[in-house]
Amino acid sequence: MELKFSKKEEKFRSELRSWLEENVRTFPIDGSSVPTHLTEDEVELQKNWQRMLYRGGYSGIHWPKEYGGRGASLKEQLIFYDELTRMNAPDITNRLAMHFVGQQHAGPTIMVHGTEEQKKKHLPKILQGEEIWCQGFSEPNAGSDLANIQTRAELKGDKFIINGQKTWSSFANVSDYCEMMVRTDPTASKHKGISFLLVDMKLPGITIRPIVQITGDDDFCEVFFDNVEVPVENLVGKLNDGWRVGMTTLGFERGTAFLQKQLWLQYWVKEAGSLLKDARHKGSIDEKDFDEFVSRLLPLYSEALALKAISYRTIGLMEEKGTPGAEGSIVKIMWSELEQRITRLVKDIKKWQSIFTEGDMGPFNDIWQYRYLRSYARTIAAGSSEIQRNIVAERVLGLPRA
């Protein structure tokens, strides 16, 4: 057991640090920028950061070299996240969320289950920031009960014909591709008749309708499929084996996709501490309030540090075992619920300032107002806290299904 990183890893860190110092400062947005409407300029801006990372050799740290990645270890991936947070850089957990599904879902899933052609076609483009992805999993009647999906894909000759509706699909309105779970055998039992497809979002028959969120963000979408023809070579894994493929995706989501988020929260708590000191200094809170806020902050600090520790521990374990297991659900419960408590604390520290929305930063007075509202999505998206607890109970603790 040790905390120290190897010489090679530390060398990577110091090179990355210089690169970030040079590039974060000159980039127009950072880790505290409030997201804005998805205009063409905004999409271009988000792509630009990814292009810069790619040119710098920092895209896909842990992805194989042959697909455009750096071919480095998971520990270097962790260092990469560590340094991004330290520099308050823009990333997929804040302003650059558009790259999330490609880098954290579709990419890793294609790497595990995809054909060689699929890998060659998509992986480099995801890393270059040129291909944006969305997820087509949830449906109006398949949320927590994901296996209940009804969107049909009928295999006719060398094509799948898709009909149905997907929902809660982030960034579908700017995506090039969608990773989809569809029903290919309606006669089989729930989990058995599902297949996993890669779908070009420009195909005829696809209609996208944005759903405005609590935050006002307009990246969330419903997607309708009306006789959409998808070539058979876009199938990932075997026909009717899509549940297993999809679970790999969710495994990444629960295991490593939010590593960066897990590390961020420690900085958020520290920032809450600074805001608290400022507020005392300016006199906007008195000594009694200050002490109350401190006693709320200290346990959050402990939990955020524990989250960092568990992230470090997970990386070590994953290097031994490969793909993440159901233990990822434990971490998902931890970070999503902690984020809500941290943002609520800051809202309270800011008192009346958290109410007004007349600011120079778009629809929000500041980033913390956005973070507070956003936090309510965390315990729902990527598997609700309740589903995560079921997973922990059934798959880790072996308790019987109801």
Partner 1 sequence: MNLSFDEQQEMMRKSIRDFLEDHYPVSKTRVFTEEDQEMDLKLWKGIADLGITGILIQEEYGGLGLTPVDQLVIQEEMGRYLTPAPVKVNALASYLLNNASNVEDYREKLMEIAEGKSICTIGLLERSGKWDQPSTNVKQNAGSLLLNGTKIGVSFAAMSHDVLVSAIDEQGKVGLYLVPLEEEGVSCRMVKTVDATLPWYEVTFQNVRLPQESKLIDGVKSLFETCIQVGSVFTCAESLGGMERILKLTNEYAKERIQFGKPIGSFQAIKHKLADMLVNIERAKALIYYASLEFVEKVDTAALSIASAKILTADSYYSVVREGIQIHGGMGFSWEHDMHLYLRRSTVNQSEFGDPGQHKKVMRKELGLEEIKDTISATIVS
- Interface positions with partner 1 (CB under 8 A): 1-5, 9, 75, 78, 270, 273, 276-277, 287, 291, 294-295, 297-299, 301-303, 305-310, 312-313, 315-317, 320, 327, 330, 333-334, 386, 388-390, 392-394, 396-402
Burial 24-62 (b: 16+ CB within 10 A, else e): beeeebbbbbbbbebeeebeebbbebbebbbeeebbbbb
d(CA 250, CA 147): 13
Query: Smallest distance from the beta carbon of 290 to partner 1, in angstroms?
Result: 8
Query: Smallest distance from the beta carbon of 381 to partner 1, in angstroms?
Result: 19
Query: Smallest distance from the beta carbon of 312 to partner 1, in angstroms?
Result: 5
At residue 88, the 3 state secondary structure works out as coil
**What kind and span of H or E run contains 235?**
strand 235-236
d(CA 75, CA 218): 35
> CB-based contacts of 252: which residues, under 8 Å, 6+ apart?
104, 105, 108, 109, 323, 324
Which of residues 257 and 334 has its CB atom nearest to partner 1 in the complex? 334
Which of residues 26 and 295 has its CB atom nearest to partner 1 in the complex? 295
d(CA 20, CA 33): 17
List alpha helices for 57-190, DSSP H.
74-86, 100, 107-113, 116-128
**Residues acting as catalytic residues:** 253
Which of residues 211 and 305 has its CB atom nearest to partner 1 in the complex? 305
Q: Residue 285: which region, alpha, beta or left (left: phi > 0; alpha: psi -120 to 50)? A: beta
Torsion angle (degrees, nearest 10) of CA 40, 45, 47, 49: 180
Query: Smallest distance from the beta carbon of 14 to partner 1, in angstroms?
Result: 16
Which of residues 312 and 376 has its CB atom nearest to partner 1 in the complex? 312
Q: Could you tell me where the beta strands, DSSP code E, fall in 77-234?
A: 133-136, 152-156, 159-170, 177-183, 194-200, 206-211, 220-231
d(CA 205, CA 88): 41
Query: Smallest distance from the beta carbon of 229 to partner 1, in angstroms?
Result: 42
Which of residues 256 and 365 has its CB atom nearest to partner 1 in the complex? 256
Which of residues 310 and 361 has its CB atom nearest to partner 1 in the complex? 310
Pairing between β-strand 177-183 and β-strand 194-200 as defined by DSSP bridges? antiparallel
Lookup: tokens for 399: 């308790």
Query: Smallest distance from the beta carbon of 274 to partner 1, in angstroms?
Result: 9
d(CA 394, CA 402): 10
